[in-house]
């Protein structure tokens, strides 16, 4: 049975873009609905730990989708290969603000630092690390070490947790102490109640409230992975993205394998933009998506009208123009198929407002 994402991938580019923008409107309406608001309030009351995910821009890695977590709960930070340096000024400020805001509300922070790979074909691994899984994993551990320096090595307030994501099955692999792991794919067919004791065994230093709040993600991932057993996923496990997103505020994009999302964190944005364009070009050449065009979407969230919104507009215009310049320079033929859209997102309502 084709998924909504699969059906969307096969449409002409104008129809795909219209559908994506319509999805953003639907997401904002749902996000602001009384039921969704109450669901988020209830979830955070029961599971108050703030969850941050450091992840690759790869569209196949969609943690809320793969863990069946309500949208708006997980705070994502995305970049090529999941490559980050907590010394980057803008990234460091955003991450620290996220942690401090949570702490002031009495909430600890669980920091999931992810890498991804494919068991079936090494070539389907992470382009940011040239499909070298060990290098990607080593980098994740380096980020965890930086997090310890930034937020404390006792890991009582911020717990950095290295997690693998196996793209063939969508399974999470939790890395604990002394090389111990919890591979969710190993739990298919087993009672999910055992996940709690296994998590405690491999991460004995993780505070119990964080373990409690991580368990729903593991249980959701187990249900997701179990449901995918026996389903033909050739088009899902291969790159099939047709959108390049630059900026922040893309949580309406809850269709996996649709967009390559680049956060504005690193000092050299040209590298991930160029890599994203290379992936889009390869998708077209391989026939995984139609070759009639792709979407470039720049977005910046804002909280308040006035100066805050005006600054968001300027930032989105800059990101959009910069990304277009990079793509035209590095992929001139592909650039002819680009459909550029620029927007800002009113973060309290998740409303996306187009600027073009």
The H-assigned helical ranges of 47-194 are 63-67, 89-104, 133-151
pLDDT digits over 119-153, tens only?
A: 988 888 887 788 899 999 999 999 999 999 999 99
* pLDDT for position 70: 86
Distances (CA, A) of 341 to 78, 84, 245, 281, 294: 20, 26, 10, 19, 11
The H-assigned helical ranges of 33-62 are 34-46
pLDDT at 297 over 60: yes
* pLDDT for position 67: 95
Mean pLDDT, residues 54-83 taken together? 88
Q: What region, left, alpha or beta, does residue 278 occupy, with left being phi > 0 and alpha being psi -120 to 50 degrees?
A: alpha
Domains of the chain: 1-47+239-356 (3.30.1330.140), 48-234 (3.40.1050)
Lowest mean pLDDT among 102-111, 176-185, 235-244, 245-254: 235-244
pTM reported for the whole predicted model:
0.88
HSE of 295, CA atoms in CB hemisphere, 13 A: 25
Mean pLDDT, residues 321-341 taken together? 98
Q: Which residues contact 6 (CB under 8 A, 6 or more apart)?
A: 235, 236
Tell me the pLDDT of the chain averaged across its residues.
Answer: 92
């Amino acid at each position: 049975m084709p998924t909504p994402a699969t059906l969307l991938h096969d449409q002409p580019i104008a129809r795909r873009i219209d559908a994506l923008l319509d999805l953003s409107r639907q997401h904002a309406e749902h996000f602001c609905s009384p039921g969704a608001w109450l669901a988020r309030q209830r979830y955070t009351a029961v599971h108050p730990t703030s969850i941050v995910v450091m992840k690759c821009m790869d569209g196949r890695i969609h943690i809320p989708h793969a863990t069946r977590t309500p949208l708006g709960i997980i705070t994502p930070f995305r970049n090529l290969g999941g490559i980050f340096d907590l010394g980057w000024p803008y990234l460091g400020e955003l991450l620290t603000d996220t942690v401090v805001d949570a702490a002031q509300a009495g909430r600890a922070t669980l920091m999931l630092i992810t890498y991804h790979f494919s068991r079936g074909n090494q070539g389907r691994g992470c382009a940011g690390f040239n499909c070298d899984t060990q290098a990607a994993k080593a980098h994740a551990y380096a980020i965890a070490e930086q997090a310890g320096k930034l937020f404390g090595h006792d890991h009582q307030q911020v717990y950095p947790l290295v997690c693998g994501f196996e793209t063939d099955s969508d399974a999470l692999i939790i890395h604990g102490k002394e090389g111990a792991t919890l591979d969710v794919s190993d739990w298919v067919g087993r009672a999910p109640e055992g996940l709690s004791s296994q998590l405690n065994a491999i991460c004995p230093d993780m505070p119990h409230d964080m373990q409690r709040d991580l368990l729903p993600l593991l249980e959701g991932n187990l249900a997701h992975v179990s449901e995918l057993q026996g389903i033909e996923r050739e088009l899902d496990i291969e790159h099939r993205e047709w959108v390049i997103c630059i900026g922040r505020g893309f949580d309406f994009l809850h269709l996996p394998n649709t967009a390559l999302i680049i956060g504005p964190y690193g000092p050299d944005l040209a590298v991930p933009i160029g890599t994203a364009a290379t992936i889009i070009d390869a998708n077209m050449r391989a026939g995984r998506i139609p070759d009639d065009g792709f979407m470039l979407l720049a977005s910046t969230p804002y909280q308040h009208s006035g100066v805050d919104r005006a600054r968001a507009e300027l930032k989105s215009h800059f990101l959009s123009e910069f990304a277009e310049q990079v793509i035209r320079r590095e992929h001139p033929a592909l650039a002819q198929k680009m459909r550029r859209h620029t927007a800002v997102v009113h973060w309290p309502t998740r409303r996306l407002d187009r600027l073009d």
